[in-house]
Amino acid sequence: MNQSYIINQLGEERENYFQAVSPPIMQSSNFTFEDISTMRESLKDELNTPFYTRGCNPTVAILRKKVAALEKAEDALIFGSGSAANSAAVISQVKAGDHIICVDKPYSWTNKLMTHLLARFNVETTFIDGTDAANYENAIRPNTKLLFLETPNSMTFELQDIEAVVKIAKKHNLVTILDNSYASPIFQNPIEMGIDMVTHSATKYMCGHSDVVAGVVCGSYEHIRQIFASEYMTLGAAISPNDAWLMMRGLRTLPIRMKYIAESTFKIATWLESHPKIEKVHYPFSPNFPQYELAKKQLKNASGLFSIQLKANNIEEVERFCNHLQHFLLACSWGGHESLVFPICVLYTSENYGSSTLPWNLVRLNIGLEETEVLMEDLERGFEAMKRCQVK
Ligand SMILES: *Cc1c(COP(=O)(O)O)cnc(C)c1O
């Protein structure tokens, strides 16, 4: 199945809705039946039969097919957020007394899920440096059930060697879940490399327009059926039909957006590497990146998210850099059409994200769909503002 077919045809049953190119938004919470026997029959497969929209909705069903195919998975579930997707996938694999091994520095709310919520239910997590796959194996205990990966991570972009971790998991009969948000299904397909379940914050690239919060879990029919029957239906973090439709519209342009963003980001990141106001660039597709070879091996391309460390004397200079940018918007999140800047020093007062061990001069950039030159000019504007600070 090629990408064009998946994005433009798969799952669409146009003969059922006036041959409309764009599918209808089935804005209905429930579905009616002609008689009891058909109603009873439909309950046998609530995952795939419209009965109640928390379970199955026809607009969401089209999206599920496309998302699963893009990730080369058998099936997928769509959630109301990436955090809901990660939580459902992780919770589905553990019970009280179990142990998880997770890469250190995962997404902040993945960390919270493990350190706070699951800890309350006597599920323990060990966080390991994932740059050496052996650390996963060394942390295994008799009660370990799950290895969690996020590669690259979304602040400093350390990678885990997917094939090496899969090998360890298979040897010890453990389940693997990988948060693939950074790469999108266009640049990395971990299920092909043996990972059991892939999650995404679809809020980022898959939706791509900074107007929807959504998440996905992809995996085998068995894993998806299991999550559906429990976490998906119980926790109830379903996506609305309207948001599912917006996500589908996002997918129509996903490959072309990723292509443009990757090209633009490569130009900007390599330009920044030799810039006098830059101390360091964290970008997986730079030959200077410590895991460059691994990045080239398991990623088809690097996406638009990377970090820089400014050659700044103090936080005020970092702030001046960010405050003087005109095109880069000062905001969290990423993966949308618009370029963003997110300085780590913003987290220093937040309880939820606090105790950051990341360098104070670290600034994360999200490259959007603007002209590359316009973005470079804008960054130069920020660097100039830093210098003005020095002479004062
Ligand atoms: C944003 C993000 C999430 C959470 O997704 P939401 O859609 O915001 O709930 C999970 N993982 C990664 C890597 C993210 O960047």
* Domain final residue, candidates 252, 270, 291: 252
Rounded Cα distance between 117 and 230, Å, is 17
Atom nearest to 154 CA in ligand 1: 13
Rounded Cα distance between 199 and 344, Å, is 25
Q: How many Å lie between the centroid of ligand 1 and the Cα of residue 107?
A: 7
Tokens of 80: 């109301």
For 194: left if phi > 0, alpha if psi spans -120 to 50, otherwise beta; the answer is: left
pTM of the model: 0.97
Rounded Cα distance between 314 and 361, Å, is 8
Phi/psi at 163 (nearest 5 deg)? -65, -40
User: Are 182 and 300 contained in the same domain?
Assistant: no
Range of the structural domain that residue 248 is part of: 3-252
Q: How many Å lie between the centroid of ligand 1 and the Cα of residue 108?
A: 9
Rounded Cα distance between 210 and 93, Å, is 31
User: Are 193 and 139 contained in the same domain?
Assistant: yes
- Looking from the CA of 270 toward its CB, the CA atoms found within 13 Å total 11
Residue 350's pLDDT is 65
Give the model confidence (pLDDT) of 37-81 as tens digits: 999 999 999 999 999 999 999 999 999 999 999 999 999 999 999
308 beta partners: 281, 363
Q: Report the CATH number that the domain containing residue 367 is assigned in CATH.
A: 3.90.1150.10
Q: How many Å lie between the centroid of ligand 1 and the Cα of residue 87?
A: 11
Query: Can you say how many angstroms the Cα of residue 116 is from the centroid of all Cα atoms in its chain?
Result: 21
The residue among 214, 201, 182, 209 whose CA lies nearest residue 79 is 214
Q: Are 272 and 382 within 8 A, CB to CB?
A: no
Give the model confidence (pLDDT) of 101-138 as tens digits: 999 999 999 999 999 999 999 999 999 999 999 999 99
Protein residue closest via CA to atom 8 of ligand 1? 82
User: Are 310 and 227 contained in the same domain?
Assistant: no
Rounded Cα distance between 54 and 46, Å, is 10
Collapsed DSSP state (helix, strand, coil) of residue 304: coil
Residue 392's pLDDT is 45
CB count within 10 Å of CB 245 equals 22
pLDDT tens, the chain, 392 aa long: 899 999 999 999 999 999 999 999 999 999 999 999 999 999 999 999 999 999 999 999 999 999 999 999 999 999 999 999 999 999 999 999 999 999 999 999 999 999 999 999 999 999 999 999 999 999 999 999 999 999 999 999 999 999 999 999 999 999 999 999 999 999 999 999 999 999 999 999 999 999 999 999 999 999 999 999 999 999 999 999 999 999 999 999 999 999 999 999 999 999 999 999 999 999 999 999 999 999 999 999 999 999 999 999 999 999 999 999 999 999 999 999 999 999 999 987 666 555 567 899 999 999 999 999 999 999 999 999 998 755 54
Q: How many Å lie between the centroid of ligand 1 and the Cα of residue 82?
A: 5
Query: Can you say how many angstroms the Cα of residue 293 is from the centroid of all Cα atoms in its chain?
Result: 22
User: Are 82 and 203 contained in the same domain?
Assistant: yes
Phi/psi at 218 (nearest 5 deg)? -115, 145
Measured between its terminal Cα atoms, the distance across the chain in Å is 61
Protein residue closest via CA to atom 6 of ligand 1? 82
Q: Are 375 and 308 within 8 A, CB to CB?
A: no
Q: Are 246 and 62 within 8 A, CB to CB?
A: no
User: Are 294 and 212 contained in the same domain?
Assistant: no
Protein residue closest via CA to atom 5 of ligand 1? 82
Rounded Cα distance between 206 and 280, Å, is 29
Rounded Cα distance between 6 and 69, Å, is 7
Q: Are 365 and 340 within 8 A, CB to CB?
A: yes
User: Are 173 and 273 contained in the same domain?
Assistant: no
127 beta partners: 102
User: Are 137 and 176 contained in the same domain?
Assistant: yes
Residue 354's pLDDT is 55
Total number of domains in the chain = 2
- Stretch (H or E) spanning 330: strand 329-330
Q: How many Å lie between the centroid of ligand 1 and the Cα of residue 113?
A: 13
**Can you list the alpha helix ranges (DSSP code H) found in 121-199?**
134-138, 162-172, 184-187
User: Are 300 and 210 contained in the same domain?
Assistant: no
Q: Report the CATH number that the domain containing residue 119 is assigned in CATH.
A: 3.40.640.10
Pocket of ligand 1 from Cβ distances under 6 Å: 81-83, 86, 107, 150, 154, 179, 181, 201, 203-204, 213, 215
307 beta partners: 282, 364
Place of tokens 């929807």: 212
* Domain final residue, candidates 252, 275, 300: 252
* Domain final residue, candidates 252, 282, 298: 252
Strand order in the sheet with 175-179: 75-79, 215-219, 197-201, 175-179, 144-150, 99-103, 124-128
